[in-house]
Structure 1
Amino acid sequence: MMSHYNYLPLEIQEQIMKWLPVKSLIRFRSVSKTWKSYIDSAGFVASYSSNKQHIWVQYYDEQVREERYLSIVDDDTFALNRVNLTPLPLPDYTKYIGCSDGLLCFYLGCTAFFWNPSIRRGFHLDVPIEAHGCLHDVVLGFGVCRETNDLKIVKITCVENVFSAAFELEEEVVNKVDVWTLSTRAWRSLPANAILTKLYFSNPEHAGRLIAIGGVVYWLASEEFPFENLIISFDITTEELGEVDLPDSLANPQYLTISKLRESLVVLQNVEEPNRMVYNLWMMEGGVPNSFTKIFTFYVNTPSEVSLMGFRQRGDPIIRFNSGRLVVYESHSRQIDNLGFDGVGNVSFVQPYTETLLLHDQPNLTIDTEVVQDQLASFHIRYAL
């Protein structure tokens, strides 16, 4: 086979490789040293992204009483082309954080797990949660630096969540930001930012979900005085923390969720009416803060709330009911398509992702769940005494 490719200039071969699926690229690394060197190069790994979107689904199968993982190809065969994946050995009560550059992040207490579902590679990382003699909630974000091609992880330690309710704040007792990079495998603190003095994550368990778009990470947060919804941003490359002002109709106290529609930030606003819920979907235009436009509204004739889990590649929202039912709302026909998860148990989360080669040089993700849970228990015992 190589004799045929020798007739093609290397530049043409490289262009062809950019359109190949991940599984083919992994196999082609064994064809020649030249191909392996190119596929393994930091520039190719960072720039490669398959045009085909997949939907990662995790749910609890009540029949076998265990977590199930599957990947759905987001094309014309949607909901029919499903691939069951080997479950991750995650500890109990691990929560899902988000997706960036094709990587999934999970978190439990003082450990974060990063996993590439396309190539089954990943690693776990100790996350410091101690500050001023207390344990604190942390909010995580991550992405690839566009200049160095290095994976960065940002951590906001929510110091004020503890001290603002019980003590008069001292000047140095404020939220803090730290960054970890894969190349150095070390944490470093960033300078104080004025935004941190007013930032308040009223519910880090929910607000900790991140949305990553174009090298920028977004979280939904609050400004405590006066209490208003706001969106915090962190640029992975410049390491600058910023905020996105919401229009008055969204900033006022209410339940919001944020998501990504293609490469735009969107906000889902729910309004309760008698016997139904009304959901307004707002989009930030051109990445410009305070430029949100309502793009459509849909209704659910049930007192049960729904959660926006993400979007299909063509733009239809994927919605989860509290019962675990998973559907797609077709915005053009205003029809709801059931994805066939009724009766199998509760869907934990859904995440659209694209194939990537990131972490291809990492070993298989091995997790000693007992060690992780014992470490978390020892933290809580130490600070309870």
Structure 2
Amino acid sequence: MVVLWNPSIRKCVGIPIPNAFYTPYRYTRIGFRVCPDTNDPKLVKISVVRTPHICWDAKVFTLSSRVWRTVYTGVPFKSCELFSGHVFIDGIIYWLSRGSFLISFDLKSDKFGEVCLPDTLAISSFVRVVKVNKSLGLLEYDKEGEMWVCGVWMRKDGVNKPFTKMYTVKVEGKQGLNSVLGFRNNGEVVMDVEDDDFKGSQIDVYKPSSGRLNSVGISGEYDKFTVWSYMETLLFLDQSNSVIH
């Protein structure tokens, strides 16, 4: 079940996910956002079966209709696997595939598409899709000697434009894998930085202009932090706290 919750007005709606799989041979990816045209919350469910060959089953749920319906995926997308993380930009959800492209889903048209990666990233095994300054971005993790670094790529001019590498996040003196969690509006990078003993981590803010780190005073277990943007809304104001059957 997915629970959609608006903490601003303390309203939530539970939505059962039919035929959700999480096994080595089949899995389900869920995307959620609000359609910018109708202001209607939508869930996108992609069930991927890996044997005997990779195939998809995609369905969309809209809160106004309260039903799941099948959507056409298209031949190119029935033979690729998807990572779990996704981002939402200008009405479109993006997933990173295990290949040389991103999978997109337009909430306005309910159609799938693809976005090609730069050639240098297509062969990399450690890439994440992110949102950078309201634009579609990519993170490329690699090693310089014994130090992990992260290249930040961004598609600055909208749909169908190429990605440009903006800068490299390099935390001097830290050899562990320091993960980028997100980006502030002022360009600062929020990071999960491993302790020197590799037993824990803390959230730091990285300034690309100087390469310096500033702690925000939050510590914990490495790879357990998540950062998301937040916007106050009256979504679900007309809904009662309930579970949809």
Do the structures match in fold with TM over 0.5? Answer: yes
**Which of the pair is proportionally richer in strand?**
2
Aligned match for 1:339, one of 216, 225, 232: 216
Deviation at 1:289, TM superposition (A): 3.7
Q: Contact 2:102–2:114 (CA<8 Å) still a contact in 1?
A: yes
C-alpha distance 229-339 of structure 1, shift in aligned 2 (>3 A): farther
Q: How far apart, in 2, do the equivalents of 1:304 and 1:262 lie?
A: 26
Q: How does 1:210-359 map to 2 (within 5 A)?
A: 210-222=86-98, 228-289=99-160, 291-300=162-171, 301-322=173-194, 323-342=200-219, 347-359=224-236
C-alpha displacement of 1:357:
1.6
Instruction: After TM superposition, list the pairs within 5 Å mapping 1:166-185 onto structure 2.
Output: 167=52, 169=53, 174-185=55-66
The structure whose residues are more often helix, as a share, is 1
Matched, 1:139 2:29: yes
Name the structure, 1 or 2, with higher relative contact order (CA <8 Å, separation 6+). 1
Contact 1:157 1:175 in 2 (8 A): yes
Please name the residue that 1:13 is paired with.
Answer: none
Q: How far apart are residue 112 of structure 1 and its match?
A: 1.4
Q: Which residue of 2 aligns with 1:193?
A: 74
The yes-or-no answer on 1:121 pairing with 2:11 is: yes
2:197 aligns with: none
272 and 181 in structure 1: CA distance in 2 versus 1, 3 angstrom threshold: same
Code of the aligned partner of 1:250: L
Q: Which has the larger radius of gyration?
A: 1
**Displacement of 1:250:** 0.7
1 CA distance for matches of 2:178 and 2:161?
26
**2:129 aligns to what SS in structure 1?**
strand
- For residue 85 of structure 2, give the secondary structure of its aligned residue in structure 1: coil
Q: Is the 8 A contact 2:73 2:112 kept in 1?
A: no
Stretches of structure 1 that go unaligned for 5 or more consecutive residues are 1-110, 202-206, 223-227, 367-385
TM (normalized to structure 2)?
0.86
Q: What do the CA deviations read for 1:118-149 (whole angstroms, capped 9, x no partner)?
A: 33322221112268xx9831111122223322
**Contact preservation (8 Å) 1:325, 1:341:** yes
Pick closer, same or farther for the CA change 1:154–1:255 going to 2, 3 Å: same
Aligned residue type for 1:126: P
Shift of 1:365: 7.6
For 2:134 and 2:39, locate their aligned partners in 1 and report how far apart those are by CA, in whole Å.
20
1:149 to 39, 59, 80: 39
Percent same amino acid among aligned pairs? 32
Tell whether the 8 Å contact from 1:179 to 1:189 is kept in structure 2 after alignment.
yes
* Counterparts of 1:251 and 1:135, CA distance in 2: 24
Distance in 2 (CA, whole Å) between partners of 1:123 and 1:321 is 35
What's the Cα RMSD here? Answer: 2.3
Change (3 A) 1:297 1:209: same
Q: Summarize the Cα distance change of 1:357–1:262 in structure 2 as closer, same or farther, 3 Å threshold.
A: farther
**Is the contact between residue 115 and residue 365 of structure 1 (CA under 8 Å) also seen in structure 2?**
no
Secondary structure of 1:287 counterpart: coil
Please give the alpha-carbon distance, in whole angstroms, between the structure 2 residues aligned to 1:248 and 1:361. Answer: 48
Secondary structure, counterpart of 2:229 in structure 1:
strand
TM-score, normalization by structure 1: 0.56
Q: Residues of 2 paired with 1:249 and 1:365: CA distance?
A: 48
Residues 81-92 of structure 1: matches in 2 within 5 Å?
none
Partner of residue 371, structure 1:
none
- CA shift, 1:337, in A, is 0.9
Letter in 1 for 2:115: V
Mapped contact 2:46–2:57 kept (Cα < 8 A): yes
**3-state SS, counterpart of residue 77 of structure 2:** helix
Q: What is the Cα deviation at residue 197 of structure 1?
A: 2.1
- Report the residue type matching 2:118 in the other structure: P
Per the TM alignment, residue 324 of structure 1 is displaced from its structure 2 partner at its CA by 3.2
In the aligned structure 1, how far is the partner of 2:225 from the partner of 2:239? 27
